[in-house]
Amino acid sequence: MGMLKVLRAQAGRRHHGHAGLCLALLVLFLLAVVTARTSAFLWTALGGELLLLAFLPAKLLRQDIMGALAAAVFCLLLILPALLFWGSGPVLLLPFKTFLCVTALNLLQQHFSWHELTAALRRFHLPPEVIFILDTTLRYLVLLGDQASLLLTALKLRSVGHNRKKHKAMAGIMGIVMQRSQRLSIEMAEAMRCRCFTGEYPLLQAKKSSSSIGSLLPPVILLLVYGFLYLRLEGFL
């Protein structure tokens, strides 16, 4: 249901047209954060993320921060035995890196819709079958999520008193959703066959955006690479 809310919120989002560049920047940022050995670059990256988070509404800001903190706390629990037996050290950077990576992913999904991201993957020459599976999965999450919500509502309206065997009711709903999923998959396969689908997943050309994001991304990428290399060398000296 949480994924369904996110996909519904992205339905009316304006198309920015720079998902490919931002996705490439995200990959470089994640590689830089993961391979960083000192905290200097990590604190610099945190400052940049906080600057971007400041432009978000309060509700979205709280969701992104809480999600990143939860991931960081979970990572801290995983490395707790190492802290107890070997003491503090570079291992303490792992929760910090987790927080930065999750925050960057949240910023990307707040700015672009899933359809823009799957279209951007096509520009990186990802196999069309993989993109088609991802895009179809996202569509079916919405369709089957709506079906499950309607079934739950119908079950509540027909229920009288307190049901002590909720697992049986949930099993029935899951069975109905599975049957409808199978029926929808067969109908989609027949529709693809009628439309002579050959396995190609063409990339639609989006309208050109008048925003200045595209002109700012190359300097940001260069600044990220320069800052990472400079702070990494400073850490070794």
pLDDT band at 205 (very low <50, low <70, confident <90, very high): low
* Structural Rg of the chain based on CA atoms: 23
Long-range own/partner contacts, residues 49-54 (CB < 8 A, 24 or more apart): 49/100, 49/103, 49/104, 49/107, 52/107, 53/103, 53/107
- The percent of residues above 90 in pLDDT, for the chain, comes to 4
Summarised one tens digit per residue, pLDDT across range 35-62 is: 887 788 888 888 888 888 888 888 888 8
What mean pLDDT comes out for the span 84-92?
72
Of 97-101, 115-119, 134-138, 163-167, the range with the highest mean pLDDT is: 97-101
pLDDT at 169 over 60: yes
More confident residue, 188 or 14: 188
Report the C-alpha gap between 135 and 130 in whole angstroms. 9
> Is-contact 180 147, C-beta < 8 A?
yes
The domains of the chain are located at 14-122+211-236, 127-159+168-194
Q: Calculate the average pLDDT of the chain.
A: 77
pLDDT on residue 210: 46
pLDDT on residue 98: 92
pTM: 0.67
pLDDT at 165 over 50: yes
Summarised one tens digit per residue, pLDDT across range 102-120 is: 998 888 887 777 777 777 7
